[in-house]
Structure 1
Amino acid sequence: MSRISIVVFATFLAIISMSEGMSLRGLGVEPRCRCIETESRRIGKLIESVELFPPTPHCEDTEIIATLKGTAQEICLDTKAPWVKKVIQKILSNRKP
């Protein structure tokens, strides 16, 4: 293979991989887990809203992201913490018809 062919092929692969990541973000899907660190301390009184994200092909973990009152800061919650498990149960019970 010539050097030009290798450069063209490498550029093609780079463009395809970049467009795949952008298309997933455009659909509201992150190509990785959102939560790197989680909070296990009780912060229930500080929480304004909570979102539950089920596992996806890009992240095998269930993720819970809480938005804090006043600051609108988003914090990932530890799904193994007992108080967070209660929050999950409440969210799931509210979703059922």
Structure 2
Amino acid sequence: MARTATPAAPRLLRAALLLLLLVAAGRRAAGAPVVTELRCHCLQTVQGIHFKNIQSLAVTPPGPHCGQTEVIATLKNGQEVCLNPEAPLVKKIVDKMLNKGSTN
């Protein structure tokens, strides 16, 4: 009688491969930055928003996750808005927020 592979064999192989991938993903070179997202957050940007509506501002420089500078404003209502970092109004907002933080 010929033996056939059991249905558990493919599942076991898939589980072993998944485990191997998870272990490999967990290892990284010493000093390598931890990147949680490997893509840009801002797909569309606005040219500006009124300064009084902004609660906080996050500026992310270009890196392995994204090739462009990203400026994300969190509004007082909790909404996040991507701002165009090249827009003159956005540059003023970033400068004002940085100066506001340095005077405290």
If the TM-score is normalised by the length of the shorter chain, which range does it land in?
0.5 to 0.7
- Structure 2 unmatched ranges of 5 or more: 1-9, 11-17, 27-33
Secondary structure at the aligned position of 1:66 is classed as strand
- Structure 1 unmatched ranges of 5 or more: 5-10, 20-26
Whether 2:74 is the aligned partner of 1:72: answer no
Amino acid at match of 1:59: C
Task: Select the structure that is richer in helix.
Answer: 1
What is the aligned partner in structure 2 of residue 83 from structure 1? 89
Amino acid at match of 1:82: P
The TM-score with structure 2 as length reference comes to 0.57
Please tell me whether Structure 1 or Structure 2 has the larger radius of gyration of its CA atoms: 2
Do the aligned partners of residues 92 and 43 (structure 1) sit closer, same or farther apart at CA in structure 2, a change above 3 Å counting?
A: closer
* 1:46 counterpart (49, 53, 63): 53
Pairs within 5 Å for 1:30-45: 30-45=37-52
- Give the paired residue count: 84
Identity %: 42
